[in-house]
Structure formats: C-alpha cells, structure tokens
Structure 1
Amino acid sequence: MDFITTATIQAVKQLYNTTITPQDVNLQQTRKEFEGQVTIVTFPYTKFSRKSPEQTGQEIGTYLQENVAEVSGFNIIKGFLNVSIADSYWLAVYNETVVKEDFGIAAPNGKKVMVEYSSPNTNKPLHLGHVRNNLLGYSVAAILKAAGYEVIKANLVNDRGIHICKSMLAWQLFGNGETPQSSGMKGDHLVGKYYVLFDKAYKVQIEELKAAGKTEEEAKKSAPLILQAQQMLQKWEAGNEEVIDLWKTMNTWVYDGFAKTYKKLGVDFDQYYYESNTYLLGKDIIEEGLAKGVFFKKEDGSVWIDLTDEGLDQKLVLRADGTSVYITQDLGTAQLKYDNFGMDESIYVVGNEQDYHFKVLFLILQKLGKTWAKGLYHLSYGMVDLPSGKMKSREGTVVDADDLISEMEATAKEQTEALGKTADFAEEDKQHLYYIIGMGALKYFLLKVDPKKRLLFDPNESVDFQGHTGPFIQYTHARIKSVMSRGGEVTVVSTITEPDSVERDLIIAMSQYPETVNQAAKDFNPAAIANYVYELAKVYNKFYHEKSILQAENEELKAFRLNLSASTAKIIAKAMLLLGIEVPERM
C-alpha cells in the first residue's frame, strides 16, 4: 500500500505544514469488525495538528478521499483511521498481479544464505525433536528462496566422539555380526539398539562398582565399558584401521536409515559437513586470536576468552593438552562454511538449550574481526511435548521419527475412512493420500507455532478436518479442484467491475501473499505462512458457501468465480509447498 503511505505524507504536509518520512506512517490491516482494509495510526500526528486523534483522523481521511482515486471512504475509531479502498483497485491488483504465474516469487536479490539444520548424531535414529528441526530448517530455506535469496541447505553430521564409540563397542561385544540385512532393521535403528545396550550394561557395571565401595562418580569413571569406549576413541583419532573400518561400516548403516527418514519427511540438503572432518578445525583461529589478544593463556596452557564485560563469563576455547572443545571446532567450521560459499547470512537451526553457546560463538567471531559474523543467526526453537501416554518409543523415552510418521499415516487413515471420503479410491491412491494427509497434519501442526515457543503435539487434533490444521487446508484445495473440474474450461472473458464483499475479501486475502512471504523470510518464521494460508482457506470457504460458482447468474460471473477459485488453489499450493506440504487434487 505504498500509495497510501505517499498520500498520508502529502496530507500531513498539506494540512499541517510538516514533513514526515515513510517510517513515520504506521499502516495496519483493518480489524475485521470495522469497515475498511487499511488502518492509519493517527496518534503521532496530533503534535502537528494540535487536535484530538479523532479530529486529526477526520482531516486526513477527508484529504485522502478527495485526493486519492483509490480511496472510497473512511471511518474513525479513536486514534485509528480506517480507510476503504475502491473495488476497482482490488480488481486491478487481481488482474495485474495475482493471476501471474510467478505471483509471490521474488526476483533474485543477489544475497546468499546458508540454512544449517538436522545435525544428527550417528549413534541413534532421528526423533521428534529432530522432526521439528528438519521441518523448520527446510521450510525457512524454501521461504528464503521464494523471497529471492540463493539458498544452501546444509547438514553438519555429528559422526564422531565417545557416543559413537559406545554403539561400536556394544556391537563388537554383543552383536554377533548382526547387520541391517540379517536383522531386517533400518540401519539407524540397529545402531541405536546397540547404543541402548551399551547404556544398560554400563549402568549394571556402575551398580556393581558402587556395591564394591566406590562412589557414583568413581564408578562412572572406572567402569570397564567406559574405559574401553575411551580407548576406542583414542584408537580412532590415532587412525587405527580396524576401528576406522568398523566406524565406516556402522555409519553407512546409519546414513542409509537417515536417508529413508529424510525422504519420508520430504527434506533434503545441498551440502553435508561431517565432524570427523571438522573436529580439528579451529586451532588456527585460536592462534590468530592469541596473536590479536582476543584470547589469553592460563598457567596450565589452556586458552580462554573473557566475555564478562558482555555479561557472559570466561570461556575455554582450547584445552591445556591442545585438544579442541566444541566451540573450537564450531569456530573452524563457521570459517570453513564461509570460505566455501561466501554467504551473506548463515542460519543455525538448533534447539534453545544451545542459546548460550551461540551467543558466545558469534561474539568470539565478531571480536576476531570476521566481517561475515554479523550475518550469523541462531534460529532457536522450543521443545515438542506429547500428551502423556501418546506414542511411546521402544525405550519409552524419546519418540522415534519413523514411529511418528507411521502413527500419523495410521491416524490420517482412521480419520479419513471415518468420514467415508475414499470409497472410490484405488488402494495405491488411498495409501498415498493417507501419507499426504498424515505428513501435512504433522508438518502444519509443528510449523504453525512460532519456532521459539514450546509446543504440545497431539496427533489426533492435528488431523481434524475442521480445525486449524493442515488437513483442513488440504481439503479446501481438493474442494476447489473439484469445483474446477466440474466447471470445465473457462471460455468467457470476465469483465466484472463490482465484486461483492466476499469476492473482494478473497482478492484482498490473495493479494497479501507476497508481503507474507517477505515478512516470514525476514523473521525466519514459517508460522507466518502457515497462519496466512489457513486464513485464506477460511475466506475461500466463506466465499464457497455464500456464492454459487457453477450455478452463477450468468456465464461471465461463473467465469469470474472459477478464476478466483483457480487463483486461490494456486496460492494455497504455493504456500503449503513453502511448509513442505503437498496438497492433494482430491480427497
């Protein structure tokens, strides 16, 4: 609404002989209970007008109506000037922009951004927390691409360390040569099974040592299993061929399992980084920081940074024995990523338990004078909870991603069949539909909430066809497709000049899509897209129930309403695709 901003500036200049800037014009969407589409906040202008907010609004409103052809009326609610825009304007917006194929897809802006997400450990399968992470990262990447960015989707895989050695050692001790092929288990589940077996056996040893007189801490440190795992890690770091071969074999199993889960989730990556390749990075940066006086050495040889002036604390960046800590390799990996791609921004999709870590990481890089550090951003998200008793995992603690996906498909099947909507579907089409609905329900439910918020995920609620859900939006899309297929090809050119209020509301809702994409990209927030497309679906359903489409009074009106339906379906499909959600043609 640039023309309203420009006209408001002119009004203030003309009426009050005062020059204001576009930043001084606060435009809002008019609340549904009031007439109008655009609201101008008039409180700030009372210091120029020296009148009440209502009088100021009246004067500005009168000026706009008399001088701006697109303004058809206005009303005042306290300090808010609600402006009505002429139907001719909305029709022009529809005919000139909304109907275009590239509507909502911005031109390239010349900026490059990396979105790093998933970051799994190769000692266990993906779980519910990973699901939110993957869906969030993938959606943010899609939104940024639609907003004109060149996007690199990256995955930093934690494929080394003591936790990996625990799975490897347990397989050596208890596995009897078991493989994914011989067991019929997905590779990531098989490796996860041995991580759990290690933990159980380790706990038994701890209890035995405690019974023999050791303290809890002593028992944990001296248990034979943990000592063996530490020895295995040392051998791995020393390049022992036998250990490296076992590590490669078991990681291959895990990657094969991950690939299947990623495919089911509908996420992918352009670039993989592996901690086995990056864990030695960062030591050069430590030397650089020591030379610049950013870091300091303690008497024992360990290297630290003092961040107390920034309200943080002192942070270890290199151990006394010269080995890395997590922050060391993260510094090195951040430099490597920039050297590889030279991106303007780099987004880390990581849970909020790492908030402090990323504050420290970004601050250190800024202190080191890395000019690209200002483009680093931690997209922090909250935990996902389940109603008690829902979908317990094999171990009864963490919900496995594959189990969750299967449960969602089963729930979608149950709900869909209860509504009797698939009687005439072929069996293969039914199964695909249940998958689309189940995944749409899961993705939409996890993405409609602001990432920073903790959320409670209820599988049954997420598949409600009448609620604030993915299936409701998917069903709206299928409904439109059904109308269009029955309406046939539109052959009449519509010259409608006066849409009624519900048709105008639908055009207005569609017109807001590009700005919604831009705002979602700016905030790294898929919830903005999710809530927008839900509102659009609601407006369409109101239009569908109030207006006859196929039985319209004349062919011209029928063509207009079919075109509105087709445009709505396209925007719903585009918006849902930004959330990684497929919309069915029928359901």
Structure 2
Amino acid sequence: MSLQETLSNQVKQAVSKSFNVVLEIVEFQATRKEFVGDITVVIFPMLRLIKGNPVQIGEVVGNYLLENTEIVKGFNVVKGFLNVEISDAYYVEIFNEILSDDVFGIIKPHVSEKAIMVEYSSPNTNKPLHLGHVRNNLLGYSVAEILKASGKKVYKTQIINDRGIHICKSMLAWKRFGNGETPESTGLKGDKLVGNYYVRFDQEYKKEIENLVQNGIATEEAKKTAPILLEAQNMLLNWEAGDEDVVALWKKMNAWVYEGFDETYKNMGVDFDSLYYESNTYLLGKEFVNEGLKKGVFIKEDDGSVWCDLTEDGLDKKIVQRSDGTAVYITQDIGTAIQRIKDFPDVGGMVYTVGNEQDYHFQVLFLILKKLGFDWAENLYHLSYGMVDLPSGKMKSREGTVVDADDLITEMANTAEGISEELGKLDGYTESEKKELYKVIGLGALKYHILKVDPKKRILFDPKESIDFQGNTGPFIQYTYARIQSIVRKANFDYTTSITIEVKKLHPKEKELIKQLQLFPEVVQNAASQHSPALIANYTYDLVKEFNSFYQNVSILGADELHDKIFRVQLSKKVASTVKLAFNLLGIQVPERM
C-alpha cells in the first residue's frame, strides 16, 4: 500500500472520530520545499463537510495522526495545508519491501481479464520505414509493454498495406527501368530498392505531365491522363483480377520489402505477435454492410450506395459502400476489427497507433462498431500522435526526401561514437564492445528523445541534441545506471543483509530516493491508463536526478558505519534495477559500463 493510501485511510478515520462525518476523498499534494514535511493534506475540500477554521481542523487532524499512528512523527499547519512528517521507520520498512521485490512495480497479467491488441507500424510495401514510422513503432511497442506491465495480456500486431495504386507504381517503375535488378545484385536492402522505384515513378510521372502541358493539355487533365499513371491503374485492375504475371511480380517485390522491414524492426528492437495483410483484408467488412442495413444502422441511397448517418452524433454522413457495390477504406477497417476478435477471442479492446491526421477516421470507425452492437467497441483507443519534423523541414516520400529509419539508427550510433571518443572513457573496451555500446547509446538517445514527449505533441527531432550526456536525455540516464553498476562492483563487503530502523537513521537524501522509488507502480498504472510512455520516461529522469543529488551529497562506499554502506549500496542497486525496468518498458537497453 502506498503512503497516500495508508495516510488517506488514517485521515478519514481522524475526521470520522473527531468530527463525526464521512470523508470519501483525501486530497494530497507535495510539501513545498520551504516547509517541513513529506506530504501535505489539503484541508480546504473538507470544509464542505466540516464547518470551521481550516487551520484548527488541520491541527485536530494532525494531533490525531500523531497520537494514533506509528508512521507520523510530526506535523505543521500552514493556512489550509497540513504538512505531515513521516517516520524513518516507515521509509525503512517500505524500502525493505521494495528491495524484496525484483520486479517492483510490474504486475503479472490477470488470466481472467480480457486481452488488449495493440496495432502499430502498418507500413506500405512501396518504400522503407522512415522517421515517422520510427515514432509510430516506438510508441506502439512501448504502450504494449506498459500495458503488459500494468497487468494486461497484450497482443502486438500490424496490418501491412501491401496492395493499392502506390504498390503498383513501384512495380511498374521496376518493370520499366529495373533491368532485372534485385537486392542481391545491387547490395541494397529490398525495401530500399523498391522505394527507389517509387521515387523513380514520380520522376517519370512529372516528366509526362510536363510534356502533356507543353502540348496544350490543362495541368489537372494531364495529371489524370499521364500514360504511366494509366498503366499503373491498369496494373492494379489486373492484380485484382488475379493476373498471373502481375501477382508473381507483386509477390516477388513484396518479399524483398518484408525482408528489409524485418531487418529494420530487429535493429529498432520491436516485434509483433501477429501480422495482417491488406491484400487479405480489403474485402472484409462487406458482409456487415448488409447486417448494418438490417439493424437500421446504415441506409441505402437511390443510387445504391450505402451510408451511415452520424449527424446526430455530431459527425457527418459516411459512405460504407459505393453504388457499384465496392467497399471503401472504413468498410475494410470494420471487417478487420471484427476478424481480429474472431482470431483472438480473448481480446476485449484494441489500441490503434496512427498519426493524428486520422483522428476523424477513428472517431467514425469506433462509433460505427458501437452502433453495430459489438461490446468490445467500448474499449477501442486511437493512440494519436503528432508529426516528427526535422530542422531541415518536412519529409516527402515521393520525392525521396524522407529520413530513412536504418540511416537514422546508423547516424545515431555514429554520433554516439563521436561524443564517446571525445569524452575518452572507453579504456579497456574491445572494438566490438565499443561498436555495441555506440549502438545502445545511439538507439537509447533516439528512443528516449521521442518517447519523453507526450504522444499528442509534434516533435522537432535533432539527433545531436538527443544524444547529449547531460540533461533530460537517454544517454544521461544510461550513464547514471552504469555509474551505479561501477559502485556495486567496488563494494567489497556483503551488502545483502536487511537493515532495520533500530540501527539506521535516514539521511534526507535517502528518504527522498525511497519516496521516488515508491512512486513507480503508480506511474506504470497511470502510463497504461493514459497510453503515455512519456510518464515512464520523465519519471525515470526524475529518479536519476534524485539519485545524482544523493550521490553528490552522501558518501556511499566511504560511509563511517557499515550499516550505512550496506543500506546505500542496496538503495543504489534498487534505483538501477528500477531504471532498467522502466527503460525496458520504453524498449531501451542500459549498458553495464560507459
């Protein structure tokens, strides 16, 4: 039980005994630094139930706590704020409980509860993953890990957009200009090779538009009638008709891309439990159009098109089937969601990690699924996130001006190498150990820089700023973890004995660290309920800041008393293990040495 929960029960009891009223909620806040106390009870909300002066009420409650509880050792009242001092005995006892739990703050999944499916990545197979995908993958993976840590069973999935006109553009360009090139013959990753032909298509398309315009055709008409675009559209029709040659080319080029994606995912440190392919799901959902018509959820217009009227819900009318009987994108999403529940019957909710340009789409999707009567539709969440910008400006896939995910990961490792070499702290490392360390630092910097920001906010990403060894960065936290490992390695005494309050008086810095450690389970639960890795990231930074303040003000291995040495090594080790657990939830590794 946390300090707030323990104290809350005792404050309620104090109010009940002293004023004969039932207090349902006790409001707390951190004690301001200019006052003595570990936690502050806010008296003002009690005035709705208790008539009187808030200072006097605070005095009555404070005296009750002092006389009737073991954990309160003193108090003071400032206006309507009761500042409570907590006994050292409480903190030592709490720390020993935290120490005995190797995964303090992490809860095993509840078998009886419904699982959650988290969708992320979901790329197109016409280009490699880029910086935007990096934010998507890191967010989705981290949220899945945080939900698991909060006690949920989680499935990670993605839907691969492997069909459509954009895929055919890469296919056609390769067919026309590729001369049989393969990843093997070029030495390129398959996704990069295919992406090059997507860019090549756009270059040729623009040339054709320009020629048509010079021959007197209006620009908009030229865009629609450029021969290369018409040929790509025809290729899509042939694919949908099952043309053997087109399907064979599609399978070959997609296989190149999948191999490239797998390598990027491995380098990024993300994984999936299941995969869905749009080529298998694009016809799903049509059967539910008829179901929706029967239930009166959908209406059919005179031209045969089917719509869902959401105007009474503050939205607009949404088409779910065209007049020619073909499905639209949201119909496919309806079908895919339902199919996932069929495939994983224990799933009771889903999280979709998709950029904020799709906010309206998901509002509509979730509402339609609710109207169709699916109870799990109440537990759908759009993990909406902002764009990632670079100092150089916005990225454009068609023009080939994106920041490639693989190149970014390599650049981060190179930047880490440059900074580490300048600091000159890698004596005794082999070359392979150095390379691995640079990768861990570089990738840690990238992930932390992206995940420490609230998902809804837009990010301006500067690689050099993210890799600083000072401030709120991944390397700063990794360095503190490595520092603690060095302290533990130097401890030439048995530090496994539990220290009791009979022999230990707490230093204020020790107490602050224990208070920070105690918050971790609550932070995990809040991060899960808010789908926000930023809460974990910034908690970890606060914990590390508190440790560094402790390290600078308190002697650990040089303490006069053995029990102080033991306690401080134990406390340091627990900080390190909590950092490691927290960083695991962000998908970040911590090096034992730096």
- Deviation of the 1:75 alpha carbon: 2.9
**1:384 match:** 388
Q: Secondary structure at the match of 1:344?
A: strand
Greater Cα shift, 258-267 or 560-569:
560-569
Establish whether residue 132 from structure 1 lines up as the match of residue 122 from structure 2: no
Q: 1:475–1:131: structure 2 CA closer, same or farther, 3 Å change rule? A: same
Q: Is contact 1:11–1:64 with CA below 8 Å preserved after alignment?
A: yes
Query: What amino acid maps onto 1:456 in structure 2?
Result: L
**1:556 match:** 563
- Structure-2 separation of matches of 1:454 and 1:444: 15
- Structure-1 separation of matches of 2:220 and 2:389: 31
Q: Secondary structure at the match of 1:97?
A: helix
- Deviation of the 1:491 alpha carbon: 5.2
Establish whether residue 242 from structure 1 lines up as the match of residue 245 from structure 2: yes
Match of 1:216 among 219, 224, 236: 219
Task: Tell me the matched-pair count.
Answer: 585
- Deviation of the 1:474 alpha carbon: 0.2
1:397-546 equivalent positions in 2, closer than 5 A: 397-490=401-494, 493=497, 494-495=499-500, 496-546=503-553
Establish whether residue 205 from structure 1 lines up as the match of residue 218 from structure 2: no
User: Runs of 5+ in structure 1 lacking a partner?
Assistant: none
Establish whether residue 103 from structure 1 lines up as the match of residue 110 from structure 2: no
**2:16 match:** 13
- Deviation of the 1:424 alpha carbon: 2.4
Q: Secondary structure at the match of 1:154?
A: strand
Q: Is contact 1:30–1:82 with CA below 8 Å preserved after alignment?
A: yes
Greater Cα shift, 264-273 or 218-227:
218-227
- Deviations 1:238-283, CA, capped at 9 Å, x for gaps: 1111111111110011011111111111000001001000000000
**1:348 match:** 352
Greater Cα shift, 456-465 or 191-200:
456-465
- Structure-2 separation of matches of 1:270 and 1:544: 42
**2:369 match:** 365
User: Runs of 5+ in structure 2 lacking a partner?
Assistant: none
- Structure-2 separation of matches of 1:32 and 1:266: 41
**2:308 match:** 305
- Structure-2 separation of matches of 1:261 and 1:445: 19
**2:165 match:** 162
- Structure-2 separation of matches of 1:341 and 1:488: 52
Query: What amino acid maps onto 2:538 in structure 1?
Result: N
Match of 1:321 among 312, 321, 324: 324
- Deviation of the 1:211 alpha carbon: 2.0
* Pairwise CA RMSD: 1.8
- Structure-2 separation of matches of 1:31 and 1:326: 54
Q: 1:488–1:252: structure 2 CA closer, same or farther, 3 Å change rule? A: farther
Match of 2:5 among 2, 17, 23: 2
Match of 1:252 among 232, 251, 255: 255
Q: 1:301–1:189: structure 2 CA closer, same or farther, 3 Å change rule? A: same
Q: 1:41–1:133: structure 2 CA closer, same or farther, 3 Å change rule? A: same
Q: Is contact 1:492–1:555 with CA below 8 Å preserved after alignment?
A: no
Q: Secondary structure at the match of 2:49?
A: helix
Query: What amino acid maps onto 1:453 in structure 2?
Result: K
Q: Is contact 2:395–2:401 with CA below 8 Å preserved after alignment?
A: no
**2:124 match:** 121
Establish whether residue 567 from structure 1 lines up as the match of residue 553 from structure 2: no
Greater Cα shift, 342-351 or 193-202:
342-351
Query: What amino acid maps onto 2:175 in structure 1?
Result: Q
**1:334 match:** 337
Q: Secondary structure at the match of 1:377?
A: strand
- Deviation of the 1:205 alpha carbon: 1.1
Q: Is contact 2:120–2:353 with CA below 8 Å preserved after alignment?
A: yes
**1:182 match:** 185
Greater Cα shift, 68-77 or 570-579:
68-77
Query: What amino acid maps onto 1:543 in structure 2?
Result: F
Q: 1:54–1:397: structure 2 CA closer, same or farther, 3 Å change rule? A: farther
- Deviation of the 1:297 alpha carbon: 1.0
Q: Is contact 1:115–1:347 with CA below 8 Å preserved after alignment?
A: yes
- Structure-2 separation of matches of 1:233 and 1:256: 23
Q: Is contact 1:159–1:276 with CA below 8 Å preserved after alignment?
A: yes
Query: What amino acid maps onto 1:239 in structure 2?
Result: G
Query: What amino acid maps onto 1:135 in structure 2?
Result: L
Q: 1:498–1:475: structure 2 CA closer, same or farther, 3 Å change rule? A: same
Q: 1:303–1:394: structure 2 CA closer, same or farther, 3 Å change rule? A: closer
Q: Is contact 1:393–1:400 with CA below 8 Å preserved after alignment?
A: no
Q: Is contact 2:159–2:276 with CA below 8 Å preserved after alignment?
A: yes
- Deviations 1:106-126, CA, capped at 9 Å, x for gaps: 133333111100010000011
**2:174 match:** 171
Greater Cα shift, 515-524 or 381-390:
381-390
Q: 1:316–1:31: structure 2 CA closer, same or farther, 3 Å change rule? A: farther
Q: Secondary structure at the match of 2:350?
A: strand
Query: What amino acid maps onto 1:193 in structure 2?
Result: N
- Structure-1 separation of matches of 2:442 and 2:107: 31
- Deviation of the 1:304 alpha carbon: 0.6
Q: Is contact 2:38–2:85 with CA below 8 Å preserved after alignment?
A: yes
Q: Secondary structure at the match of 1:439?
A: helix
Q: Secondary structure at the match of 2:127?
A: coil
Q: Is contact 1:297–1:303 with CA below 8 Å preserved after alignment?
A: yes
Identity across aligned pairs (percent)? 58
**1:47 match:** 48
- Deviations 1:396-445, CA, capped at 9 Å, x for gaps: 63211111111111111111111111132110000000000000000001
- Structure-2 separation of matches of 1:433 and 1:82: 46
- Structure-2 separation of matches of 1:83 and 1:306: 57
- Deviation of the 1:391 alpha carbon: 11
Greater Cα shift, 10-19 or 517-526:
10-19
**2:198 match:** 195
Q: Is contact 2:199–2:398 with CA below 8 Å preserved after alignment?
A: no
Q: Is contact 1:43–1:53 with CA below 8 Å preserved after alignment?
A: yes
**1:584 match:** 591
**TM-score, normalising length: structure 1:** 0.97
- Structure-1 separation of matches of 2:377 and 2:588: 33
- Structure-2 separation of matches of 1:331 and 1:360: 10
- Structure-1 separation of matches of 2:395 and 2:444: 18
**1:286 match:** 289
Q: Is contact 1:282–1:330 with CA below 8 Å preserved after alignment?
A: yes
Query: What amino acid maps onto 1:414 in structure 2?
Result: G
Q: Is contact 2:120–2:354 with CA below 8 Å preserved after alignment?
A: yes
- Deviations 1:19-53, CA, capped at 9 Å, x for gaps: 122xx222334345543232222221112222243
Greater Cα shift, 476-485 or 293-302:
293-302
**1:86 match:** 87
- Structure-1 separation of matches of 2:128 and 2:31: 48
Greater Cα shift, 168-177 or 11-20:
11-20
Q: Is contact 1:450–1:525 with CA below 8 Å preserved after alignment?
A: yes
- Deviations 1:460-484, CA, capped at 9 Å, x for gaps: 1111111110000000000000011
